[in-house]
Amino acid sequence: MIARPTRDMPDLDADDADIAELDQDEAFIADLAEEAEPAPGSVAMGRAAIARALKHAPSGPGVYRMLGPDGTVLYVGKAKSIKRRIVAYTRPTGLTARIMRMVAATAEMEFVSTGTETEALLLEANLIKQLRPRFNVLLRDDKSFPYILITRDHVSPQITKHRGARNRPGDYYGPFASVWAVNRTINALQKAFLVRSCSDSFYEARTRPCLLFQIKRCAGPCTGEVSHTDYAEYVREARDFLSGRSKAVKEQLAREMEAASQELEFERAAALRDRLAALSAVQGTQGINPRSVEEADVFAIHQEGGATCVQVFFFRTGQNWGNHALYPRADRTLEIGEVLESFLAQFYEDKPCPRLILLSHDIAERELLEEALSTRAGHRVEIAAPKRGEKRELVEHALQNAREALGRKLAESASQARLLEELARAFALQGSPKRIEVYDNSHIMGSNAVGGMIVAGPEGFAKSQYRKFNIRSTELTPGDDYGMMREVLTRRFSRLLKENPRAGASPLPEGEEAPPSPAGDGEEVSAASSAWPDLLLIDGGPGQLKAAQETLAGLGVTDVPMVGVAKGPDRDAGRETFYVEGREPFRLEPRDPVLYFVQRLRDEAHRFAIGSHRARRKKDLTQAGLQEIPGIGPTRKRALLHHFGTLKAIERASLADLEGVPGVNAATARAVYDFFHAKAT
């Protein structure tokens, strides 16, 4: 049987002519599984483990997982025939160095059967994003892209930007590459379609039109300046435009303008003219706007210096909705087409797929990926690598952006590496830190206290590994910063000791265990975030540093370097004093790049802690009052606030309105109504 390298593993989707040879392979596998126990961690041991798993492997399509000795998922793959695919891993020759490392680390395998290979591809992409296996291509910068939302839960629909879960009823248009692109488009659409952008609570409180009505960016439905019927027509036109029927919308407005002019309704004709001009502005100020491509995503990939950049452009309704650079993690031995193929399957796992996808490089399983994406999207999806014409020009433009973005990224990485080396020298560390954790607290007189932890390393800030700690100890004096720091570090490192102990951490006294992290603290600590830090930066002076040192020493952690960063006189930036155990307090030169770097780290920790504190305080303020009503728990609080939007709207609601809230019965509605009615009197 010939092993043909496709994707990132040997291809053994053999046809019927290969069945006899497969039988010979299985005889070889049986002998391999019965051999003497090979050396732990060797390729032979991994082959033997795979051979044992082969006895239970299904013959049909599905997904397989290769697991390490500790149960960690090393690799997720899919196959038309799982049994035929994994036979390749047991062969003594023909494997790349990367696959040999993967086989050597394998202790067992798991299988999931699917109905078709298309289902297997979709499941594979889902599992890779969830499990993030070490040997797969990983989409690292997997933030959610912003969308435009036109709501459907109000008599006068609202247009707004949206990011995250799509829980609110309405129509979502996107993705856009940035919030800036969303804001620019919404601004132009308001001029063209006069759809409101205010919140529902603001809408309900209006007694006269706001400024947006005066500057002709809203039709004013809140105060009856336009009838609900006419406003619904504006909303329909906006939906049509964002759905790809922009040409029809512009033609309709042009006909109406012509008719108004002939009927001598010059004021109405002028308003329609302004709306048409706004629509032209949407399409005319966005750089490249293709003539022959109505809806497409353009992907271009570039590799250099062992790094990979994928540049994606979003085109919808003939408009450029922006571009974004992503940097997937991929082994440098993989072919560029293999990386792009795996990237695409993961990219569309949680995003709407356009009807056309243009690529800079062709991929081996293009037809299979087309079928999988068409199944997920509910419409036909075409994938192409154009060689000429306007589509090729779009791809070339994206490829140029990918080259430039990767060049900037490599330059930043080199600069970051030099900064970390200088940081190690300034603080007398044994080597450049790979993981820096920075801690800060935020509160107002002890209320809504939150501790924040940010993480930075050779690739900059690792925002997926940031953590917030809601301070819940009842024994703390309000405003006790030292006590808050002790609680944060106790929770962080006790969990770290439990989930990822290391030889460098001193053992706890006999009979003692690391205190458990308080239940319900809302923190998710993944395997990636359990890595041990090489340096702790504590926002504070000698008191904060001493509290941190005593806390870690009590947990048996004595080998993690710590630095206290105290603000300068009058909190002046550039005059910070640094406290390190065994050294006199010192300052860095005012123009020292290390000083700027530490300031950036501290300011990011401060921003994150304050943001978490404000979010918690806002939530408490929003729910204040409801928690005092008997029979109102968290579920009914959420139902009431989701239905009415604000506490003031709940206070003004009639008994009938309260009874109409899903999940609120008549008795509870009466309790809420009586509570606010009694308070008002």
CATH of residue 30's domain is 3.40.1440.10
Label residue 178 by pLDDT band (50, 70, 90): confident
pLDDT of residue 161 exceeding 80: yes
pLDDT of residue 75 exceeding 90: yes
Q: DSSP string spanning 314-361? A: EEETTEEEEEEEE--B--TTS-HHHHHHHHHHHHTTSS---SEEEESS
Q: Report d(CA 45, CA 51) in Å as an integer.
A: 10
Considering the domain architecture, whether residues 661 and 583 belong to the same structural domain is answered as: no
Cβ distance 74 to 102 under 8 Å? Answer: yes
pLDDT of residue 399 exceeding 60: yes
C-alpha 442: how far from chain center: 25
* φ/ψ bin of 125: left (φ > 0), alpha (ψ from -120 to 50), beta (otherwise): alpha
Considering the domain architecture, whether residues 587 and 633 belong to the same structural domain is answered as: no
Considering the domain architecture, whether residues 209 and 302 belong to the same structural domain is answered as: no
pLDDT of residue 312 exceeding 80: yes
Considering the domain architecture, whether residues 527 and 613 belong to the same structural domain is answered as: yes
Residue 185 lies in a domain: yes
Q: Report d(CA 405, CA 416) in Å as an integer.
A: 16
First to last CA, the chain: 87
Nearest Cα neighbor of 289 from 320, 265, 317 is 320
Domain count, the chain: 5
The CA-based diameter of the chain, rounded to the nearest angstrom, is 97
Mean of pLDDT values over 235-264: 76
- Position 11 scores a pLDDT of 44
Mean of pLDDT values over 482-508: 76
Residue 115 lies in a domain: yes
Mean of pLDDT values over 354-371: 91
550-585 tens-digit pLDDT: 999 998 888 899 999 888 765 556 678 899 988 888
Considering the domain architecture, whether residues 603 and 636 belong to the same structural domain is answered as: no
Considering the domain architecture, whether residues 453 and 552 belong to the same structural domain is answered as: yes
Residue 341 lies in a domain: yes
Stronger pLDDT, 445 or 425, i.e. the higher one: 425
Residue 569 lies in a domain: yes
> What is the pTM assigned to this prediction?
0.66
Domain ranges, residue 642: 624-680
Q: Report d(CA 10, CA 91) in Å as an integer.
A: 11
Nearest Cα neighbor of 369 from 16, 121, 71 is 121
- Position 502 scores a pLDDT of 66
Nearest Cα neighbor of 657 from 669, 647, 645 is 669
Query: Residue written as tokens 């949206």?
Result: 162
Considering the domain architecture, whether residues 447 and 395 belong to the same structural domain is answered as: no
> Which residue, 585, 600, 618, sits at the end of a domain?
618
Mean per-residue pLDDT over the chain, rounded: 80
- Position 513 scores a pLDDT of 43
Cβ-Cβ contacts under 8 Å for 202 (sequence gap 6 or more): 210
88-124 tens-digit pLDDT: 888 777 788 888 889 999 999 999 999 899 899 989 9
- Position 526 scores a pLDDT of 35
Label residue 48 by pLDDT band (50, 70, 90): confident
Half-sphere exposure of 80 (CA within 13 A, CB side): 8
Half-sphere exposure of 362 (CA within 13 A, CB side): 5
Q: Is the peptide bond before 92 cis (omega within 30 degrees of 0)?
A: no
Residue 413 lies in a domain: no
Considering the domain architecture, whether residues 186 and 200 belong to the same structural domain is answered as: yes
pLDDT of residue 648 exceeding 60: yes
Q: Report d(CA 643, CA 640) in Å as an integer.
A: 5
Q: Report d(CA 255, CA 262) in Å as an integer.
A: 11
Residue 290 lies in a domain: no
pLDDT of residue 635 exceeding 90: no
Residue 616, amino acid: R
- Position 321 scores a pLDDT of 82
pLDDT of residue 444 exceeding 80: no
Nearest Cα neighbor of 334 from 73, 97, 84, 12 is 97
> Which residue, 591, 618, 645, sits at the end of a domain?
618
Cβ distance 84 to 9 under 8 Å? Answer: no
Residue 563 lies in a domain: yes
Considering the domain architecture, whether residues 162 and 208 belong to the same structural domain is answered as: yes
Cβ distance 171 to 239 under 8 Å? Answer: yes
Per residue, what are the HEC states of 59-95? CCCEEEEEECCCCCEEEEEEECCHHHHHHHHHCCCCC
Percent of the chain with pLDDT over 90: 15
Q: What backbone phi and psi angles, to 5 degrees, belong to 391?
A: -65, -40
Label residue 626 by pLDDT band (50, 70, 90): low
Give the highest mean pLDDT range of 176-185, 254-263, 269-278, 490-499.
490-499
Residue 318 lies in a domain: no
> Which residue, 131, 165, 195, sits at the end of a domain?
131
Q: Which of 165-169, 282-286, 329-333 has the lowest mean pLDDT?
A: 282-286
Q: DSSP string spanning 88-116? A: GGG-SSS--HHHHHHHHH--EEEEEE-SS
- Position 621 scores a pLDDT of 55
Cβ distance 54 to 46 under 8 Å? Answer: no
Residue 654 belongs to domain with CATH number: 1.10.150.20
- Position 623 scores a pLDDT of 55
- Position 88 scores a pLDDT of 85
pLDDT of residue 680 exceeding 60: no
Considering the domain architecture, whether residues 597 and 641 belong to the same structural domain is answered as: no
Considering the domain architecture, whether residues 103 and 152 belong to the same structural domain is answered as: no
Mean of pLDDT values over 10-19: 41
Considering the domain architecture, whether residues 357 and 385 belong to the same structural domain is answered as: yes
547-548-550-551 Cα dihedral, nearest 10 degrees:
110
